[in-house]
Amino acid sequence: DQQVKQNSPSLSVQEGRISILNCDYTNSMFDYFLWYKKYPAEGPTFLISISSIKDKNEDGRFTVFLNKSAKHLSLHIVPSQPGDSAVYFCAASINQNAGGTSYGKLTFGQGTILTVHP
Amino acid sequence: DSGVTQTPKHLITATGQRVTLRCSPRSGDLSVYWYQQSLDQGLQFLIQYYNGEERAKGNILERFSAQQFPDLHSELNLSSLELGDSALYFCASSVGPDGTSYEQYFGPGTRLTVT
């Protein structure tokens, strides 16, 4: 049962344009969402996060939007740069009122390969 | 650099053997998480420790165990290794359950190859 899904395995964008990466989740208990960027043979690098009490969080070129009713989040990168080319993972966690085996662990999507062309 | 260190970077061993992976969290972080990334399974949560105690468990095999020491570094022990255990193993750290930040910061990983 895949609770976090990234349905687009890859995305190709021209430099300077907007990149939009999408993520869907099924577990309504998730209360925190994160985006990570990953290069081959390296660990995931934290990019940006959003709490379930918000619908938008912005950090420089990166903005994350959360639509709780649709159980959908997206990452916008504007403007896209060639150095943004990497695999992007969305992840979700349960932090409030969670016990047992749920607390804090990240559940990851399968990733989207972003390629930004010069 | 996330501040999380992992050793060794690469490990090649034979089936049936036992290995230990080591992780040092970011300074001040009390929680350590272990994840496995294999080609077909993506990034999967294994286990979490908080200030020396096991806090949460994922689909970790019985052949695998972990611990967190008083200096907060953690070790993941993998025994009776099988070919299917070949994967990247990542350690991540965060402030912990009572902190105000839920972001996890990942180390560079250990690539385990079982032959």
pLDDT of residue A101: 46
* B105: β partners: B93
Q: How many CB pairs under 8 A join A and B?
A: 70
Backbone torsion region of residue A45, taken as left when φ is above 0, otherwise alpha when ψ lies between -120 and 50, otherwise beta: beta
- Alpha carbon distances (Å) from A105 to A52, A56, A115, B34, B37: 16, 22, 29, 9, 15
Q: Which pLDDT value is given to residue B60?
A: 93
Q: Is B58 on the interface with A (CB under 8 A)?
A: yes
Please compute, for residue A11, the number of CA atoms within 13 A of its CA located in the half-sphere on the CB side.
26
Residue found under tokens 């950090």: A59
Closest chain A residue to the Cα of B47, Cα to Cα? A105
Per-residue pLDDT, averaged over B82-103, amounts to: 83
* Residue among B4, B31, B44 minimizing CB distance to A104: B31
The CA distance from A5 to A2, in Å, is 7
CB nearest B55 (choices: A42, A95, A104): A104
- Partner-chain contact A49 B103, CB within 8 Å: yes
Q: Is the pLDDT of residue B2 over 90?
A: no
Residues 6+ positions from B98 with CB-CB distance below 8 Å: none
- The mean per-residue pLDDT over the stretch B65-90 comes to 96
Q: How far is B108 from chain A (nearest CA, A)?
A: 4
B70 touches A: beta carbon within 8 Å = no
The letter for the amino acid at A113 is I
First-to-last alpha carbon distance for chain A, in angstroms, is 38
* Whether the Cβ atoms of residue B19 and residue B80 lie closer than 8 Å to each other: no
Residue B56 is which amino acid?
A
Q: Which amino acid is at A28?
A: S
Residue of B nearest to A39 (CA): B108
Return the bridge partners of B88, or none.
B37, B111
* End-to-end Cα spacing for chain B: 31
Cα(A106)–Cα(A94) distance, integer angstroms: 8
Given a contact cutoff of 8 angstroms between Cβ atoms, the answer to whether B19 and B8 are in contact is no
Mean pLDDT of chain B: 92
- Give me the mean pLDDT over the B23-36 stretch: 93
Residue of chain B with shortest Cα separation from A94: B102
Contact A23, A74 (CB under 8 A): yes
Q: Which residues pair with A14 in a beta bridge?
A: A117
* A106 close contact with B: CB closer than 8 A: yes
Residue type, A74: S
Mean pLDDT of B3-22: 97
Question: Mean pLDDT per 10-residue run, chain A (118 residues)?
Answer: 91 98 95 93 93 96 97 98 97 72 78 96
- Kindly tell me if the per-residue pLDDT of B102 is higher than 50: yes
